[in-house]
Amino acid sequence: MTSNLGVKVNIGSVLKPMSRYLQQPYRLFRKYDRANLRPDLVAGLTVAVIALPQAIAFAVIAELPPQMGLYTSIVGGIAGALWGASDQAHTGAANAISLLVASSLAGIASPGTNEYMLAAGLMAVMAGVFQLVMGLLRLGLLVNFVSHSVIIGFSAGAGVLIVIKQIGPLLGIPLNTANPLVLIQDLVLSLNAIHWPTAILGLGTILLGIFIARISPKLPKALLSIVLASVAVFVFHLDKAGVALIGKLPRELPPLAPLPLLDFQLMARLSTGALAVGAIGLVQTIALARSVAAQTGQRLDSNQEFVGQGFGNIVSGLFSGYAVAASFSRTVVNYKTGAKSQMSVIFSSLFLMISILLLAPLTAYLPMAALAGVIIPIAYGLIDRVEISRIWKGTKGDASIMVLTLLGTLFMDIQFAVLLGIGLSLVMYILRTSTPRVHAVIPDSNYKHFVYQPGQPPCPQLGVVDILGDLYFGAVNHVEELILTLAEQQSEQRFLLVRMNHVNHCDFSGIHMLEGVVRAFRDRGGDVFFVRINFPVWQLMQSTGFDKWLGADHFLAEDEAIDYLFHRVLDPVICIYECPLRVFKECQNLPKRIDIKGIPREGDVPSEGIFMVSPQALWRMIYVDTAVPPPYVIDVREPREFKRGHVPTAHSVPLPSILLDTVKLPADRQIVIVCRSSRRSRRAAYVLQQMGVMDVAVLDGGMLAWEATGLLEAVETFATEPA
């Protein structure tokens, strides 16, 4: 297919991944291992025992009828398992999500009304559509951009709110305000109105749960506590004493809800809450699923899990439920009891459905205070003090996101607090990626690694920088500014070595930035070299022609880079006569003559006016052209360099000797000056010319060229002209 812009669009390549995500139930049943049936059944039954009281309690948090919590865990759990990816994540009614639903519906409808329940179902469908689209479009990676601090801050705030809001039902005090500070104030003023039968029942449920957990953590403390509290109500007729009860639940399967799917005005009012519910549900579920997958070794497909959560919410909303997410407690129990596949979640949902049909009449004696006694410990568990402490001691950015999300959850509309936290995460990500660090580094004491040592002086000729981040359009200005600032701080550094191993991505803006840096250093008479370029970045450099523009000899192997630059690029005169430092390994045996003054800088020597002699021409002048006197060859390197190898007829005359005018040179012979690369030779020739010695030449390329031609340490008896 071709679009109006002339761009060919392969519809098949777009639809094929979508169809694969939708076929997950078929793959689940086709590949199911019957050996997993028993452990999945056991895990499903165990989780169902926990899910029964939780589903009722979480519905109470959402200010919805208890049966909606059960419907949510049944149909949401089945759909989430059929289309999800995690083998152990248990989808259904969740603690923090329930509070978020209640907050999002505040002001839209009154709790307990039919409008309120339908709005909860519609919001679940909207959140599910959002999640489903995210999964089908393979946008699962976007969950990585939400900071873990958002979840910790939101969970802690939600835990505090839930605990505060359940104190009223726990003690039998009517507290209706949503502001936690006002609620606490009202609680203090209402202590004399405590309904003691309710309070004793509620506090007793908490203490009983703690006692059961200490006896055996494996026992279903929530279910046992609620059952015993219900028995107490029945035996002592506490309902007649004013203890509030849940009431009898309907004995029926989850019915199809008449949702106002065409009420766009209501949808607009629910959109913010639906977005917050969908986003937090995804982040919470993926984080939980990944933590379990890390222990089981499962390869988790985030996009498939997005699809599963989307279908879970859509089906839950359509069948009289509300928003779903993976539950931490049920997922952990599911994993620890040996669940092998998503079938364990389906089994637990089926067991939960059977329990509704069989046990619904018994809920008539279930006290609200006992539910509050179950909810409060669960809500307290949302406050992860260990993680809060770690984040607080970590980076300021993460701590700020956590604190702002927590305070927003407590004192703002919760859905806005969630979106604020997510927005801050994205802002923090943009700030971090757009401001990568650029460190000037030098070798460590063993000369094996380059490390950031801000207290140590760098080489005055060569700067080495590490770019710690990607070079995309949002970051290049920052990186360029840092590099040029470092260059200004070390104004004598004319050469730069850029280490690129931490740059995993580079766009065309990054190439332009690198070109600008190269031009800046070339304008100051230097150059830029690169090491450790990652393959994708190297491909871009080749496709844009940057490699050819810079020159192939400017891309170096890291193990050889300093040696190459030291011997072929850096100015040895500065190293020997001006620099007191020994930054690199190559500097350690270098003679230091910093007491010598008057050596001209490389830029002061004119490029014209000095005659250059090739190694072959010098050989012929010494051994072949006998009709004229051979040139007088002087080697201006240091004595130790001279001893390692030199032109056979050369005389060792270190550069300082020429400056001090202590050398007597023959007036009737041409002077040819030799050094390692001809750079010191050019300065020596310039100085001699200033002294009036005009018949001066320089060995082009110095001893490096002499070696390359095969003439190193040639003996005087050689008379054959080299090839």
Domains within the chain, CATH numbers bracketed: 36-414 (no CATH), 437-587 (3.30.750.24), 604-708 (3.40.250.10)
DSSP 629: P
Closest-CA residue to 555 (of 584, 575, 535, 582): 535
Q: Is residue 391 within 8 Å of residue 406, measured between CB atoms?
A: no
Report pLDDT for 680.
84
DSSP 2: B
**Mean of the pLDDT values across residues 400-409?**
90
Angle between helical axes of 221-236 and 37-61 (0-180°, round to 10)? 60
Report pLDDT for 31.
92
Separation in Å, CA 509 to CA 516, 544, 554, 700: 11, 11, 20, 40
Q: Is the dihedral of CA 356, 359, 362, 367 positive or negative?
A: negative
Q: CA torsion angle for 388, 393, 394, 397 (degrees, to 10)? A: 80
Closest-CA residue to 301 (of 70, 139, 483, 474): 139
**Mean of the pLDDT values across residues 341-361?**
92
Report pLDDT for 577.
77
Residue 481 has pLDDT above 90, yes or no: yes
Q: What is the pLDDT of residues 525-566, one digit of tens each?
A: 899 999 999 999 999 999 999 999 999 999 999 999 999 999
Sheet holding 462-468, edge to edge: 450-452, 437-443, 462-468, 495-499, 527-531, 555-556
Rounded Cα distance between 623 and 625, Å, is 6
Lowest mean pLDDT among 153-167, 168-182, 325-339, 358-372: 168-182
Token pair in block for residue 187: 């609680």
Which of the pair, 16 or 609, is modelled with greater confidence? 609
Q: What is the pLDDT of residues 668-707, one digit of tens each?
A: 889 999 988 888 898 889 889 888 888 999 999 898 888 8
Report pLDDT for 136.
93
Residue 719 has pLDDT above 50, yes or no: no
Separation in Å, CA 120 to CA 125, 127, 185, 272, 320: 9, 11, 30, 13, 9
Residue 573 has pLDDT above 60, yes or no: yes
**Mean of the pLDDT values across residues 433-443?**
92
Q: What is the pLDDT of residues 28-49, one digit of tens each?
A: 999 999 999 999 999 999 999 8
Binned at pLDDT 50, 70 and 90, residue 720 comes out as: very low
